[in-house]
Amino acid sequence: MSEEYIIKNLLKNNPSMSHEAAEEEAKRIQNAYDKANEKRNAKRQEEHKRKWEESLQSVNDMFALDNLSDEDLDDYFNQ
């Protein structure tokens, strides 16, 4: 959720609220949301990191298969 969306929603639902007050409230809401979801976000980040590393390893393996000699491939895959 972005602060801009929160500000827009606050101003829509509270027409008398100033833009500055909406910004402060949006920051408070965003911080509370982030704190409430720290564990979920950490888990997601770890999963993204794992998938990125697997993908990168796959690309490296394909590069090795395309460019290394048989002896070098044996060394590469038996590290």
pTM (2 decimals)? 0.60
Residues 26 and 45 in one domain: no
Distance CA(44)–CA(57), nearest Å, equals: 20
Residues 11 and 30 in one domain: yes
Residues 42 and 32 in one domain: no
Residue-wise pLDDT tens digits, 14-28: 999 999 999 999 999
Domain count, the chain: 2
Residues 57 and 76 in one domain: yes
DSSP result, 4-58 = HHHHHHHHHH-TTS-HHHHHHHHHHHHHHHHHHTHHHHHHHHHHHHHHHHHHHHH
> What DSSP element (H or E) covers 62?
helix 38-67
Residue-wise pLDDT tens digits, 25-58: 999 999 999 999 999 999 999 999 999 999 999 9
* pLDDT over 80 at 1, yes or no: no
> Residue 44 sits in which domain range?
38-79
Residues 42 and 79 in one domain: yes
Residues 50 and 16 in one domain: no
